[in-house]
Chain A
């Protein structure tokens, strides 16, 4: 996973800078997302792994799968990736591109796990508090996990803020066991 990220970073950065210059961040985001989804599909991934699909053949196949939805530059990206045998990096590139885009737009994505469904007001107060702490706009991604028993766990990048009952019980267990 980490090795893929390392390999994908220069591509993502190059695409991002080109997109920024040509003011096509949104288009690129959509097409990378699309290509990433296709490349990570199990059947496609297996097909691209076969030796006959190496280099140019693989790139052509992938471009055909996308069914004319890719513009010239996106096609060039796929060809460049194929040239270096890196087509399977597409999902990673897409993720990294999103991170760079969020950073550029002063936004950050945070996942919030809760035990119960949050009210709109609660969501807003979480978003506001996070904005204060991280100094950026926060895009919340909310999921429900009954195992937490109560409270929320917020995750933004590597930072985790654990305010759940489950987490407190764990803390208490550790404190009691000494």
Chain B
């Protein structure tokens, strides 16, 4: 005979102890119609907007449309067993999800219920799904780097803790790969990660979780998954649920990173819910508040000051700032960044990483378009050494791409142009990076330094990556102290430059690749 995990005598005893016999007063309504996961309820005159509604089959709903004589609500979960005429009860609770460090390492759905088969999550606190973003007074400017370990990103489009940086590109251009690398690189950085998967194949989510486990990243990561087969209401709510879990860490003076993969599908799910609720459609059939849908979500990613953290923890945590960094992902169709949702999110975020199909197909990994990718605040959050060494790379690369396109027609080039082209080819090759192999600040500094100081100029382009691999192996084996020093301080001055130069010269004269 199989026993349920809830049938342990201790648990039963506790539940009997805590069970209170009380007459229950509640507000009730009757379900008038149910279709496509939308219920209309007659009655419920006291219901709040966004309140949870309990149905007689135990499922919950979310009140979205409060009309004069009826309430329009979406069913969260199974709506097959709800019928017309059923009773719907108010719960008096605005929708909330469990939050806390206990959630780390778990895969949960949009309501915070575990779906990884590892038993119940024993959390102490609940966090409201819809919360006002911290105000102006509570914020602190972004000045700490959020390192992704990806060369091209950290040098060209740096992101600071508390920033919102969009990852945008067509399907199959490596958007998720960038995000997963960013999570893996947070190992040992004391940054909690939340990966929100919206409308994806269950197999893709399982693949991501497996990869994170493989690299030991699940220990500090929460995965919130609303798969393609889940109701639209759950897909619409998943980012807010993930955000509430991230806010818990932000408000306790910790750093968190959240990835919304992806917001296009969430907008689709919201469009479905809105149309079924008979809200008027606008451009591309999205409802009028699709901008607010994303702006209110992304505003909650912020760097907050120590006063705010102290207030939120009732004085428990003092003198620590908190941050929630967001990497929203948007999928474009045929590189069209002027689509409705894409332009919305581009204007909300503090910059974007644009991944290009052509670059991807010509073998660049990650396929970042240096010209279209920007970071509006990240520069002030870079470590000194990366800022100094990576300063010109983005513009150089963007110019190189333009020049390369033109030079295809030119028969003879002047010396300056030819040099710029050769340099560009090498830097492009250098920016290639395999998946799941993040670099530390020190390692990144060395690769940038070797390009800046002309150590790559006498190499063949196809040897650049072999050279880099050999260099990194050499550094990891022989120069750990020096790397650690750079990683910790991030300083850059003449003596450090001299030491780097001598290490490189020494390596180049003694090694093969």
Contacts and interface: CB of A to CB of B under 8 A. Distances in A.
Interface string A137-178: 000000000000001000101111111000110011011111
Interface stretch (A1-9, A22-30, A51-59, A72-80): A1-9
A161 to B, nearest CB: 5
A171 B58 CA distance: 12
B67 A177 contact: no
A175 B32 CA distance: 29
Interface in A79-123: none
Interface string A40-78: 000000000000000000000000000000000000000
Given A6-B68, A176-B12, A178-B6, A162 B40 contact: no
A158 B23 contact: no
B1 to A, nearest CB: 18
Interface string B206-239: 0000000000000000000000000000000000
B27 A2 contact: no
A2 B69 CA distance: 5
Contact of A159 (B27, B40, B69, B120): B27
B28 A158 contact: yes
Nearest to B70: A2
A52 B69 CA distance: 32
Contact of B25 (A5, A151, A161): A161
Interface majority SS on A: helix, strand, loop or mixed?
Answer: helix
Contact of A177 (B6, B18, B26, B43): B6
B28 A155 contact: yes
A160 B27 contact: yes
Give the size range of B's interface with the partner.
20 to 34
A162 B23 contact: yes
A110 B58 CA distance: 27
Interface of B is mostly: mixed
A103 B283 CA distance: 46
A155 B21 CA distance: 20
A168 B21 CA distance: 7
Contacts of A2: 32, 40, 42, 67, 69-70
Contacts of B6: 176-178
A162 B26 CA distance: 8
Contact of A158 (B12, B21, B27, B70): B27
Nearest to B16: A176
Interface in B1-57: 6, 11-12, 15-16, 18-19, 21, 23-30, 32, 40, 42-46
* Interface footprint category on A: 20 to 34
Contacts of B12: 176
B40 to A, nearest CB: 7
A175 B15 contact: yes
A171 B42 CA distance: 24
A67 to B, nearest CB: 33
A157 B40 contact: no
Which of B15, B23, B26, B89 gathers the greatest number of chain A CB atoms within 10 Å? B23
B19 A158 contact: no
A47 B490 CA distance: 87
A44 B234 CA distance: 46
Given A2-B69, A162-B25, A162-B26, 7 more contacts: A2-B42, A158-B28, A163-B23, A163-B24, A171-B19, A176-B6, A178-B6
Interface of A: 1-3, 5-6, 9, 151, 155, 157-163, 167-168, 171-172, 174-178
27 contacts: A1-B32, A1-B42, A2-B42, A2-B67, A5-B42, A6-B68, A6-B69, A9-B69, A158-B27, A158-B46, A159-B25, A160-B25, A160-B26, A160-B89, A161-B24, A161-B25, A162-B24, A162-B25, A163-B23, A163-B24, A167-B24, A168-B21, A171-B24, A175-B18, A175-B19, A176-B6, A176-B19
